[in-house]
Structure 1
Amino acid sequence: MGSGCVVAPGLILTAYHVVQPVDGLEGAPIVVRVMDSGAEGSRVDAELAWHRWDAALLVCRPQDLKREFAPVRWGELTCARPAPAPPVCTAVGLPLAALRRIYGSGTADRHYRGEHEVTGRINVVDNASRTYSLQIESAPRDIRGADSPWQGMSGAGVFCDEALIGLVTDALDGWGNGRLDVLPVRRLLDDRQFCEFIHRAAGTWPRLEPADLDALFDTSPVPAAASSYLLSPRSEVVSFTGLATEMTELVDWCRTGKSVDVAVVHGPGGVGKTRLGVELARRVSGRRPEAERLADDLEAPWAAGFLHLDLPAQQPSPYAMLRHLIRPVLVVVDYAESRLDQVEQLLAALATHQPPGKPVRILLLARSLPAWWERLRARYGTMTNGPVIELSPHALYRQQDPHDAREQAALAFTQRIAGLRRAGIPDDWDPDDIAALVRASEDTPVNEDAGMLAVHMDALAGVLAHTPDGLEDGLSPTQVLIAHETKHWDRAFTAHGLDDDIPPELRPVLVAVQRMARAKDEDQAENAIRTAWDFYYRRFRKPLDADTAMKLLRALRDLYPATGGGYWGGLGPDTLTAALIDGIEEASDEQFLEHILTSPYLAEDQVRHCLSIVARAIPTRPDLRTSVAYVIVYRPERLMPLAEDIAEQLPEDDREAWWDAVTAMQDDLAADQRNFTTEDPADTAEPPAPVEPAGSDDADTQQDTEDHDAGPDDEGAVEPDKNTALTSGPPRDASPGPRRAAWAPDTRLRTGRHPAPPRARVSYVSPLRRTVTETVRGFIEDHVLLSLFIGVSLAVTPVTLILIWTVSS
C-alpha cells in the first residue's frame, strides 16, 4: 500500500516501488482509490504507463475517478533566503502511524488507515541538490513490529502552496522519524516521455515554476470550457508564431552580463504582447538537463513568472527575495503603465543587486510609452538599458498571412476543446443554440490590420459555430464567444444552487462588475456584488440576503479563480470585457457606468480599476467614451483625479480623445448653466433636481437604512448621502423605444422575444435645451400619479372657490 496524487486528468503519480511487479503476482491489477476528507471513493483499475528512478505514472479513465481534477502546477524551490521564512510544505498520504481502530459490535475490532497531512519545511541548502529533505514539524513515534511509522507514505505528492515540488520516496534514517526523502519533480520534467504523457492529458507542456516565489508570481489559468480560458495567452492554446525577430532580441537580452536590466514591449491591445512574454518565460525556464552542470548561469534554466498585480505591504520587501535565488530570474509585468508604483518598488528593491547574485531581467508590457517611461529611465538609468520593442499587427504576418494564422489557430482550438472533453471538463455547448443566444449584427472579416487576438477570436468562433470557412447569418465573433461564455456562467451558478435565484439577465452584470471592480479581499468582493445587485434591481429594489451573497461569492470565485494577488479573477481578454460592458451600457439607457462609478460601496482603488478597464475598452468600443465622460464631469470630486491619472497612461491619440470627450461634456454643462442664469426668472422653472440614485425613477426608491446597509467601512469607500442622490447634474436624454433592465445575450432563447434593434448613440443633450412642451410631456410620462393628482386638483379648485363665494354671499 502506498500513496499518490492526480497530476492531470487520468494520470496518477506515485512511487515506483509501491506499484512495481512482485514475483508471482506480475499480472495482478493496480487498484486506485480516491480519498476525500476521510471518505473512500470507488476502486479504479489503473495501468503502469511510465517509470524512472523511484517515480511512476499510472493511467486510468478520467471519468472513473468520479471527480474533476485540474492539472497540477509543477514547481521547485529557488530562493536561498525566503521572506519571511522558508515556505511550509505539505503532503497527504496513508502512513502506518495513522492507523485507526473501529470497535466491533459483537465482532472483532478492525483497523484502517486514515488520511494524514504531513507539514514541514525543505532545508534551503537542499534547493539545488538532487533530493529534498522534508523536515517534519511533528514526528511520529516508533510502532512495535514495523520498520517505520511512515510505511504507506511513499508516493505522496509534496506541495509548496499549490505547486507540486516533489514525491515522497523514503524515510531518512538517523533523524528520529523526523525527515522524509523527497524526489524533486524537476528531475521528472527532464524526461521527455514523462512530459509527453502530461501534455496529452493536460493539453499543455509542463513548465517548472518557482514555487517559493508564489507570493510574487501569477498562476496559470484553470482549464475550463470557456472562451475566456481558450483565448487567454497564458493558456498557450495556440503555438507561438510570427514574432521570431522580437523573440531573438529578448533572448539575447536575457543572456547579457548585467545584474539587473529592464526592457519594454509596447503596442496596442491584442497584438501579442502578453503571448510574447509567456513564450519568453517558457523558453528561458525550459528544462535542459545538460545545462544544469554548466558553469555559465545564463545557459542554465531560469526562474520566470508574471508579477502579481497587488502585493501586501510588508517588511522586508518580498521583492528582496529576487536577490537571493539559485537561478537567474525573469519578471514579466503586464499592463505596466497602470502599475508604475509597483514597478518602482521592484526596481528600488533591486537597486543594490550585484554579483555573485544571479541576473534579474524585468520585462514591462505596456500599451503605450508616454512620459512615464522617460521618468523611469531618468531615475533608474543604469537599470533600464534593455531593448524597447514596438509591436504592430503587421508584425504577426511577417511569416504567414492572416488566413494561414486563422487555420492554425482553429486546429489548435479544436484539439484543446477535444482534450478538455476527454479530461471530463463540463461542457454543454451546442452550436445549434447560437441563433437563439446572440443578436445578429454585421461580421468583421479578418484582414491585414487585425492583431493576433482578432485572428484567434475569429478562429475560435468558427470552431464553436462549426463553420470553418467563416461565420454565417451576420454573426460576429464577439457575439459567438460571449454566447459560449454564457454557458460557462450558467454551469457555475447552477453548481452553487443559484439557478433559480439569479436571473439570466443579472449574470452578465455580475461578471462585468467582477472584472471591473477588482477585489483584494472578501469585503471588496461582497461590495462589488452588492453594486451589481443594486444596479439590476434599481427600479424595484430587492435586498441582497446573506445566504445569496455568500453563494455568489463562491460562485464567482470558482467561475474566474484568482491567478494572482486578489480575491478572484475576471473575464478576459479585454475585447470580450469591452463588448460585455458596452452591451449592458446600451441596454440600460447609459445608466450602467453611472451606477458603477458612483457606487457608495466601492473603494477608491476599485473605482480606479473600473475607470482603467473602461479606458482599455474604448479603442474597440468608442461609444463608451461619451458615457464615461458624462459620469466624470458630473462627479468630478471623486472621478476627475482618477481620470487624470488614467489619462497619463494612455497612448497620445487615445489620451487626446479622452480629454476631448470630457471637455465637450464640460462645455455642455457650462452652456446649461449660462442658459439657466440668463433666462427671464418669470419664465424659468426651478433648476432640475439631481438624478435619483440608479435604481428608481422616484424619490421613494432612494437608499434608506431599512432596506440597505449603510455601505462598507472601508475608508476608501464613499458613504451614501441619505438625503441626496448619488449623482448630480441633469439626466441625459433617453433614446426612443422601451428601456431594457439589463443586457442578456440569451434573451431570445429564454423568453422567446427578439430584443429591440440597437439604438444609435448620441452625445449628451441637456434637458434645459428642450422645449416647454417636451419637458412637460416627459414629466407627465415619468410621473403619472403625480400628474393625475395635479390635474384633479386644478379641476376641483375653481368649483371649491365658487361654492365658498356662494355661501359667503
Structure 2
Amino acid sequence: MGWDRAASVEYAGGVGAGCVVAPGLVLTAYHVVRPVVGLEDAPVVVRVMDGGAEAGRAVAEVIWHRGDAALLACRPQDLGGEFAPVRWGELTCVRPAMPPECSAVGRPLAGVRRVQGSCVGEDRWYRAEHVVTGRINVVDNASRTYSLQVDRQPPQDLEGAASPWQGMSGAGVFCDDLLIGLVTTAPTGWGHGRLDALPVRELLDDRQFCALVQQACGTWPRLEPADLDPLFEGHPQPVAAASYLLSPHSEVVPFVGLATELTRLSDWCTTGPTVSVAVVHGPGGVGKTRLAVELARRVSQRRPEAEHAAGGPAVPWSAGFLQLDPQAPYTMLRHLIRPTLVVVDYAETRRDQVEQLMATLARHRPPGKPVRLLLLARAVPAWWELVRARYAPMAGGPVIAVAPRDVFRQHEVSEVREQAVLAFGQCLAMLRRAGLRDDWDPGEITDLARLPGPPPADDGSGILAVHMDALAGVLAGTSDGLADSLTPAQVLLAHEAKYWDRAFGANGLAHLPQDLREELVAVQRMACAVDRRQAGAAIRTAWDFHHRGFPHPLDGPTGLALQRTLRELYPSMGNGFWGGIGPDALIAHLMAGVEEASEGEFVNWALTSPHLDKDQVRHGLTMIARAAPLRPRLLSGAAHVIASHPSDLMPLAEDITPLLPKDERDAWQDEIASASKVLSDDGT
C-alpha cells in the first residue's frame, strides 16, 4: 500500500503528498512545490505518515523536476526512519488473473476530520491521512497516463472546495509493494471518481533522475512488471554484506566475458516463433545466472525513443526470474503488452513447474507478444529430451554449455579480478554514503575468521571464485592477495558476521553466541521455509543442535525474534517465508565450518531432525550435493547419514541423483554405496 512511505508535502500554505523513494529522497508533483512569486524562500516541509502516526519534520529542496514530477532531497535522518529503495513498477497484463488493486495515500480534503473541543466553538478541523483504492483500466497500461478508477467516491459537497481530492497531488500509486505512478490531477466531470497519475516508467527514462536515486541508495532504479509480481522474484535490497555484493542479481560487478553466449541469447529473443525455450547449463559459479541477469537487463532496458513505436524490435521487454511455486496462473503471460523473458534458475529441480509453464504457453499464438523461457541448470536435465519432444515447436531454442574458463576467453583472470576490485570498492563506498555501513575493520580479520577445516578441494576456477577473491582483498585492504592462513570465504563470512551482529542486536538477541548464529544461518539456507511453520522447524533444529549437550528449551518470544531476525537478514525474493545466505560457494563454506567445528555431528543432526519435513530434508540434501565439489567432507558425512537411515533418507537421495551433473552424480552414488557397504560389513 505504501503507508510507510507516504508523506505530506507543505509549501507556501499549500498541502500535497509525496512518497519516500530512497533515503532522503521524496517524489512529489511539481505543481505542489513550484516556486510562488514572493514566497520563493518559503521552506518545503515533508512529514512522513505511517499508519496514522507522524514522524519528524524535514526541510527539503527540489533537486530535479520534469513535467509535473519533482524530486525532493532532505537529510535522511530527518525523515524519522530507515527507508530501503522503493521498487519501481508498471502494469503490463491486459487480462490479469485478478485485476490488481492500486492504492495511494495522502491528506486530501476528503480526509478532513473534526476534533471536538471542550467548549462550544472550540472544535478543531484537521486533514487526516486518507487511503484511496481503485483499479487502473487495462487500456491505460501502455498509455502515458494512468487513470485510477476510485472504488469509493468521497462526498461531493465540500463547501468552498473545487475537489475533495485537493491534497492528493504527488501521492505515490502502489500496486502491492511496487510504485507504479504519481498522482497529478483529479479530472472534472467524473463525479470525483477518477485520479490521473503519471506512470513512473516516464521518470526512469530520465538518466539524471536515475543517477540521483542511485546516489542516494546505491542501486540504479529498475522497472518491474507489477502485475506479474506474483510470478517473478524481486530484486535484492542493498545491504553492506558479502552475500549481497556477490549476488549476480545485485549486478555490482559489470558483466564481462560470455559475449558469444549473450549474443546468441539476444538473437534468440528477437527472432523465431512467438514462444521459444532455451537452456544454459554448466557447473556452479561459472556465470550462468549473471548471464541471464544481463540478458534480462538488456532486453528490458528503457528506450524512450522506442517506447511508442508499435511492434518495433527495440521496444523494452518485461523480464524476471520465475518464483518457486508461484500462486498466479501462467495464462497471464499470454496477455501482455510487452514481449517477456522468463528465467527459471535451478531448472533441473523444477520439472513440474517447467512443464506447467510450457503447457500453458503451447497455446500462445500471434498476435500475442513473444515469450522466451530460459532454463538455467547445472546439467541438462535427464527429463529435458522428453519434454522437448512433447513441445517440439517451442523447444527449438539454443542449448548452451558454459564451462568454468569460458568467461576468460577475451580477458585475463587478472583483468577480471582488477575490474571486480574496482567495482566492489565503489559499491561499498556508495552504500556507506547511503547510510548502509558495515562496521568493518580489516584489522579484525584474524580475530573474526574461524578456521573451519581444510581449504576447498577445488576453487571452481570460475568467475565466482575470482569475485570472491577480489572482494576478500578489498575487505582485507590488500591488493596482493590474502595471508596464507586465510581463504576468501573466511574473510567474506567474517564480513557477513558483522551484518548478523547488527540484525541480532536490533532484535534483542545480541547475547546469542557467534557459533549459534552460524548454525541458524546454515540451517535456514539448508532447510528452506515456505511458511512460518517450516521456519519455526528450522530454528528449532539449529537451536536444539547448539544445545545438544545441555538441553535448553526455546521459549516463544526468542523463537519469534529469531524468525524475525533471519527473515530481515535474508528476505525471500519470492513467495517463501525467507531466503538464505548465498551464493552456493559461501553456504558450502559455512556448512563445512559448522560440520568441522561439531566434529561431524551437524549434517547428521540436520538430516535426521524430527522437526523438519521431507521437503526440507530433501532441500538440505540438495544443498550438500551442490557443495560436494568444493567440500568433499560434506558429501562423506551425508553419505554416512543416508546409509544409516536408509528407509527415511535413501528415497530422498535417489530423488536428487538424476538432477546432478554426471561427475557429481557418480561421486554421489559411489559415496553412498561405499558408506552402505561399510555399515553392512560392520553389521550395523
Structure-2-length-normalised TM-score: 0.95
State the shift of 1:593 in Å: 1.2
CA distance in 2, matches of 1:473, 1:109: 75
Where does 1:69-468 land on structure 2 (aligned, <5 Å)?
A: 69-83=83-97, 85-105=98-118, 108-142=122-156, 143-312=158-327, 318-439=329-450, 450-468=461-479
* Residue 506 (1) aligns with residue 516 (2): yes
State the shift of 1:449 in Å: 6.8
Q: Is the 8 A contact 1:261 1:383 kept in 2?
A: yes
SS class of match (1:2): strand
CA distance in 1, matches of 2:645, 2:393: 43
CA distance in 1, matches of 2:465, 2:417: 9
Q: Which residue of 1 aligns with 2:664?
A: 654
For residues 706-726 of structure 1, the C-alpha deviation after alignment (integer angstroms, 9 at most, x for no partner) is xxxxxxxxxxxxxxxxxxxxx
State the shift of 1:35 in Å: 2.2
CA distance in 1, matches of 2:105, 2:426: 34
Q: Is the 8 A contact 1:442 1:474 kept in 2?
A: no
Distance verdict in 2 for CA 1:251–1:55, change over 3 Å: same
For residues 571-622 of structure 1, the C-alpha deviation after alignment (integer angstroms, 9 at most, x for no partner) is 0000110011111111112111111111122121111111111111111111
Of 485, 502, 521, which aligns to 2:531?
Answer: 521
Q: More displaced, 286-295 or 100-109? A: 100-109
CA distance in 2, matches of 1:179, 1:32: 26
Where does 1:569-580 land on structure 2 (aligned, <5 Å)?
A: 569-580=579-590
CA distance in 1, matches of 2:377, 2:63: 45
User: Structure 2 regions of 5+ residues with no counterpart?
Assistant: 1-14
For residues 59-100 of structure 1, the C-alpha deviation after alignment (integer angstroms, 9 at most, x for no partner) is 2232332321111111100001101x1111121111122122
Q: Which residue of 1 aligns with 2:4?
A: none
CA distance in 2, matches of 1:257, 1:668: 55
Where does 1:576-725 land on structure 2 (aligned, <5 Å)?
A: 576-673=586-683
Q: Which residue of 1 aligns with 2:8?
A: none
CA distance in 2, matches of 1:194, 1:47: 15
Distance verdict in 2 for CA 1:335–1:279, change over 3 Å: same
Q: Is the 8 A contact 1:11 1:59 kept in 2?
A: yes
State the shift of 1:444 in Å: 8.0
CA distance in 2, matches of 1:557, 1:170: 39
Q: Which residue of 1 aligns with 2:7?
A: none
Q: Is the 8 A contact 1:441 1:475 kept in 2?
A: no
Distance verdict in 2 for CA 1:520–1:264, change over 3 Å: same
Q: Is the 8 A contact 1:394 1:448 kept in 2?
A: no
What count of residue pairs does the alignment treat as equivalent? 668
CA distance in 2, matches of 1:301, 1:633: 53
Distance verdict in 2 for CA 1:661–1:473, change over 3 Å: closer
Of 545, 559, 564, which aligns to 1:554?
Answer: 564
AA of the residue aligned to 1:422: R
SS class of match (2:376): strand
Q: Which residue of 2 aligns with 1:18?
A: 32
Q: Which residue of 1 aligns with 2:3?
A: none
State the shift of 1:442 in Å: 10
SS class of match (1:278): helix
CA distance in 1, matches of 2:61, 2:479: 38
SS class of match (1:612): helix
AA of the residue aligned to 1:537: H
Q: Is the 8 A contact 1:75 1:186 kept in 2?
A: yes
AA of the residue aligned to 1:435: T
AA of the residue aligned to 2:634: L
CA distance in 2, matches of 1:524, 1:591: 22
CA distance in 2, matches of 1:553, 1:442: 29
State the shift of 1:527 in Å: 1.2
Q: Which residue of 2 aligns with 1:774?
A: none
AA of the residue aligned to 1:641: P
Q: Is the 8 A contact 1:443 1:476 kept in 2?
A: no
State the shift of 1:172 in Å: 2.4
For residues 724-747 of structure 1, the C-alpha deviation after alignment (integer angstroms, 9 at most, x for no partner) is xxxxx5xxxxxxxxxxxxxxxxxx
Q: Is the 8 A contact 1:394 1:449 kept in 2?
A: no
State the shift of 1:473 in Å: 5.4
CA distance in 1, matches of 2:233, 2:460: 31
* Residue 493 (1) aligns with residue 504 (2): yes
CA distance in 2, matches of 1:4, 1:411: 36
CA distance in 2, matches of 1:74, 1:441: 41
CA distance in 2, matches of 1:385, 1:53: 46
State the shift of 1:393 in Å: 2.3
State the shift of 1:443 in Å: 11
CA distance in 1, matches of 2:633, 2:666: 15
Q: Is the 8 A contact 2:218 2:238 kept in 1?
A: no
Q: More displaced, 322-331 or 628-637? A: 628-637
Q: Which residue of 2 aligns with 1:6?
A: 20
SS class of match (1:371): coil
State the shift of 1:154 in Å: 0.7
AA of the residue aligned to 1:70: A
RMSD: 1.9
Q: Is the 8 A contact 1:100 1:112 kept in 2?
A: yes
CA distance in 2, matches of 1:484, 1:449: 22
CA distance in 1, matches of 2:564, 2:105: 25
For residues 330-365 of structure 1, the C-alpha deviation after alignment (integer angstroms, 9 at most, x for no partner) is 000111111111111111111111111111100111
Q: Is the 8 A contact 1:597 1:610 kept in 2?
A: yes
Q: Which residue of 2 aligns with 1:806?
A: none
CA distance in 1, matches of 2:166, 2:483: 62
Q: Which has the larger radius of gyration?
A: 1
State the shift of 1:319 in Å: 0.6
CA distance in 2, matches of 1:578, 1:441: 11
AA of the residue aligned to 2:417: R
State the shift of 1:429 in Å: 1.7
CA distance in 1, matches of 2:331, 2:275: 13
AA of the residue aligned to 1:425: L
Of 32, 47, 50, which aligns to 2:61?
Answer: 47
State the shift of 1:174 in Å: 2.3
State the shift of 1:326 in Å: 0.8
Q: More displaced, 459-468 or 100-109? A: 100-109
Q: Which residue of 1 aligns with 2:11?
A: none
AA of the residue aligned to 2:103: T
